[in-house]
Chain A
Amino acid sequence: MMQDMIASYGFYIGWSFGAAMVLMTGEWLMADVQRKSIIRRLQRMARLDGRGPAGR
Chain B
Amino acid sequence: MIVSINWFKYSSPASFYPLAGRMIPWFAVPAILLIIVGLYWGFFETPNVLSDQKQYYRIIFVHVPAAWMSMWLYVVIAGWGLIGLVFNTRLSFMMAAATAPTGTIFTFLALWTGAFWGKTSWGTWWDWDPRLTSELILLFLYIGYMALQAAIDDVRRADRASAVLAMVGLLMVPIIYYSVNCPDPNQCTALHQRSSVRSIESNIFWAMLTMTLAFWLYSFVVILKRVRNIILEREKYMEWVSELPEIKSQRSRDR
Contact = CB atoms under 8 A, between A and B. Distances in A.
Query: On chain B, which size bracket covers the interface?
Result: 35 or more
Contact of A28 (B59, B120, B225): B225
Interface string A6-39: 0011001101110110011001100110110011
Interface string B220-239: 01100110110011001000
A39 B247 contact: yes
A5 B236 CA distance: 52
Contacts, number: 97
Contacts of B134: none
Nearest to A14: B116
Interface residues of A, number: 31
Given A4-B55, A24-B218, A47-B250, A42 B232 contact: yes
Interface in B238-255: 241-242, 246-248, 250-251, 254-255
Smallest CB-CB A-B distances: 10 pairs: A31-B225, A43-B250, A16-B113, A5-B55, A9-B56, A12-B116, A46-B251, A20-B62, A16-B59, A16-B116
